[in-house]
Amino acid sequence: MKKITKILAILCVLLILIGVEYAVKQFVNYGPNPNPIVSNNKESICLSGESEHLYDGKIKDDKNIKIVLSCDLKKMTITGAVNQEILGDTALADIISGDRVIDTDGDFNFDGYNDISSIVSNGQGRYAIDYYNIYLYQPKDNKFVLSQQLGDLANIHIDNSKKEVVGELGTGGGGNVVVETIRYKWNVDNFVKVTDLSLSPKKGVDFVISENTFSVKKDGKVLQTVFLSEDAVVAATAVNSNNFQKFITNQDANFDGYNDLAVFAATGYNGVNNFYDYYIFNTSTNKFDKNSILVNISNPSVDSVAKEVISSYRSGPQWYQQTFKFNGSGYSKSAESLTTGM
């Protein structure tokens, strides 16, 4: 029995020595990582045991690229239709977020070319906040450039129907979480907030939105400031909506080509019905005049074809709707009607 045990031990030692000799020959002949597999979500093993992360991408139908994220996550090498290295002082991607942390299937500036998005911070929990690096493709220079503006947005996504980039951020805690939505449009060579873009009726007129105020400026001088009421400030913490805005700035309520201002006033039905007062833009004074009819409009929307402002609200298990039709100088209010819901 002792003899058999001794023979088995000798055989094990021989097998180990053979394995070590083979590994040394492989390293001497080929070096580390001789044949990395380049394919979506495949990895090539570095000498240190870390991994290079490899991705296939497409800028356009005839422009394919391959992206290699270095082992230390601080260098992105792009080859194919684009040859470029992108370096970072900090990690360019958060590999804990999953296999596919780098994508090329989004056109963030709507120019017909896909851009690169790389998740750099992966939030956790019910109100998780994710941050991305967005590299915009520049056809003229055939390279990608980091967008500083979009890097400030959380939970970024693309609204193709409106050609807008949307970022959402939850604030507060417990049962009083308010989600702020920020929307950007591409304007020639940079992104502009939708509020800034849609509410610029005249040259030199600017609009500044802070947490609870809306101001109109001309040539640096404040012409008007609209304040949220104290009750509205308190009510905002109880709103139950992912698209909640204290100041709605993308609706033309009198259909004159200039967007008007809807100011949050109150909430009801456990934060489902959100009420707004309308201020109509006065092109003569560059100010907003409060309308006496369009007050306490619930969950407002505008039908530019029918030229109506629509109020939708829930009562009990049912949703109701009321319209305010614009006749050129004022509004006629309809009777409320039952709807199928929001």
Tell me the pLDDT tens digit for each residue of 261-281: 999 999 998 888 999 999 999
Parse the chain into domains and list their residue ranges: 39-157, 238-342
Residue 276 has what pLDDT? 96
Report the alpha-carbon angle 148-41-69, nearest 5: 45
Q: Is 121 helix (H, G, I), strand (E, B) or coil?
A: strand
CA distances from 238 to 177, 178, 210, 313 (A): 8, 8, 19, 16
Distances (CA, A) of 333 to 154, 260, 302: 40, 19, 14
* pLDDT attached to residue 108: 95
Predicted local confidence at residue 288, as pLDDT: 93
Tell me, what's the pLDDT at 229?
93
Per-residue pLDDT tens digits for 206-234: 777 878 888 888 877 889 999 999 999 99
Q: Torsions phi, psi of 29, nearest 5?
A: -75, -35
Rounded Cα distance, 265 and 247, in Å: 10
Position 7 scores a pLDDT of: 63
CA-atom Rg of the chain in angstroms: 29
Measured at the CA of 12, the angle between CA 6 and CA 15, to 5 degrees, comes to 145
Q: What are phi and psi of 297, to 5 degrees?
A: -85, 120
Instruction: For residue 326, count CB atoms less than 10 angstroms from its CB and return exposed for 0-12, middle for 13-18, buried for 19 or more.
Output: buried
pLDDT string in tens for the chain (342-residue length)? 555 666 666 665 555 555 545 443 433 333 333 333 233 344 445 655 566 888 999 999 889 999 999 988 899 999 999 999 999 888 898 887 766 789 999 999 999 999 999 998 876 554 467 889 999 999 999 999 999 888 878 888 898 888 889 887 555 444 444 456 778 888 777 787 765 545 545 556 777 787 888 888 887 788 999 999 999 999 988 887 767 889 988 888 999 888 899 999 999 988 889 999 999 999 889 899 999 999 999 999 999 889 999 999 999 889 999 999 999 989 999 988 887 655
Query: Residue 322 and residue 339: Cα distance in Å, rounded?
Result: 10
Calculate the dihedral angle through the C-alpha atoms of 241, 247, 252, 254, rounding to the nearest 10 degrees.
110
What would the two tokens of residue 275 be? 């009420």
Give the pLDDT confidence score for residue 323 in this predicted structure: 95
Centroid of chain to Cα 127 = 14
Q: Residue 299: what pLDDT?
A: 92
